[in-house]
Amino acid sequence: MEKKRCSFCFGKKGYNVSEKFLLYHDTRWCKPEHNDRELYAMLVLEGMQAGVSWNLILNKEDNFRKAFDGFDPEIVAAYDELKVEELMQNKGIIRNRNKIRAAITNAQAFLKVQEEFGSFDCYIWGFTGGKVIDHHLMDDKDMPAKNELSEQVSKDLKKRGFKFVGPTIVYSYLQGIGVINDHWEYCDYRKEEL
């Protein structure tokens, strides 16, 4: 018997989701992530997603990982203008100068958070005391674009110098790293472990 997925996995009229999107939904989305490098990777990918589809970002994810040195924040934090120009020529990624620069700025801010809290994981999960917020959604209309938690995290990230971290992007980020579980109640992937 085929497993049930959240309804958005079937795309909207005239728009089909990719196999990578389905795999992301099934194995990563709303699953708790505690690896700092992956937490940084998701921050970059969510920032890159602003104004484009998540489907597109996932289809380019391998290119992003290669272009940004495996999303190692220590390496990305040291990128200079020559590296920015190199990335602007890379057709495999989103070539937006502000987003590329934000990835660098965010790597620098990320390292400062690690220094202060011991890990970014301790910092980001500290907003919920290490607990997953499960909204028990029933339908698309039930999912907010942002909430009080994403507003709070966004405000704190901005205060720490992060860019492209508005409350809507942060809400999506918190879903992506599993702080928020927004799988529909009927979705067979809502509680499965990786």
Out of 54, 171, 184, 189, the active site residue is 54
Q: Which among 24, 79, 125, 171 is annotated as catalytic?
A: 24
Residue 11 has pLDDT above 90, yes or no: no
DSSP string, 115-180: HHHSSHHHHHHHTTTT--EE--B-SGGG--S--HHHHHHHHHHHHTT--S--HHHHHHHHHHTTSE
pLDDT digit string, tens, across residues 42-90:
999 999 999 999 999 999 999 999 999 999 999 999 999 999 999 999 9
Domains and their CATH numbers in the chain: 33-181 (1.10.340.30)
Give the confidence band of 194 by pLDDT, cuts at 50, 70, 90.
Answer: very low
- Under 8 Å CB-to-CB from 72, ≥6 apart: which residues? 37
Q: Identify the pLDDT of residue 66.
A: 98
Q: Which pTM was predicted?
A: 0.94
Cα separation, 144 vs 98, whole angstroms: 26
Q: Is 24 a catalytic residue?
A: yes
pLDDT band (50, 70, 90) for residue 190 = confident
pLDDT of residue 13: 55
**Residue from 33, 40, 46, 123 carrying the catalytic annotation:** 46
Average pLDDT in the 161-190 region? 96
* pLDDT score of 193: 46
For 2-70, the DSSP string reads: PPP--GGGG--TT----HHHHHHHHHTTTS----HHHHHHHHHHHHHHTTS-HHHHHHHHHHHHHHTGG
Rg (CA), the chain: 17
Query: According to the model, what pLDDT value does residue 47 have?
Result: 96
Catalytic status, residue 15: no
Among this protein's residues, is 85 annotated catalytic? no
User: Which of 17 and 111 is assigned the larger pLDDT?
Assistant: 111
